[in-house]
Amino acid sequence: MVTAFRRDPESGKLTPTGTASTLPEGSNSRRSTAECLVHPSGRFVYVSNRGHDSIAVLSLNPDSGKLTRVEIVGTEGQEPRNFYIEPSGRWLLAANQNSDTITVFAIDPESGKLSFTGQQVAVGRPVCIRMLPSAPPFATPVTR
């Protein structure tokens, strides 16, 4: 389960605005979520399910805070822990700890849905993904 909250900026008080399951109805999978990220647009929430080996995609109503499940997508690996949404919001990289892979998904900007790109990188027991800032391009020397 995942719950959205509205925060009062003055008091800091949290008020629940919406709750949604991250697993399919009737799922007998182990219930163990790991990462929860909001898309850069603020319109979608993504949650990894370790026992189910999936990521739940939820839409987030910015006015009401209501969560609605869009889909649940397998991560093409085992035991997804951390995942990363790159700053443009176009790509999601999932760290599958027990299959030693990082898998790449395209994010549909309108629906928030994930599509496996077929790209997979072998990495020993990945549990956390972070991106480093890009280095500036090499300057071309000017000669006179």
Per-residue pLDDT of the chain (144 residues; tens, 9 = 90+): 899 999 999 999 999 999 999 998 888 777 789 999 999 999 999 999 999 999 999 999 989 999 999 999 999 999 998 999 999 999 999 999 999 999 999 999 999 999 999 999 999 999 999 888 776 665 555 555
The whole model's pTM is what? 0.88
48 conformational bin, left if phi > 0, alpha if psi -120 to 50, beta if neither: beta
Which residue, chain included where needed, has tokens 């990363």?
Answer: 84
Please count the structural domains in the chain: 1
The verdict on residue 129 lying in a domain is: no
The verdict on residue 50 lying in a domain is: yes
Assess contact for 126 and 137: CB atoms under 8 A. no
Assess contact for 97 and 81: CB atoms under 8 A. yes
Both tokens of residue 54? 């999936």
The verdict on residue 141 lying in a domain is: no
Which residue, chain included where needed, has tokens 């319109």?
Answer: 43
The verdict on residue 38 lying in a domain is: yes
The verdict on residue 105 lying in a domain is: yes
**Owning domain of residue 106:** 15-22+31-122
The verdict on residue 40 lying in a domain is: yes
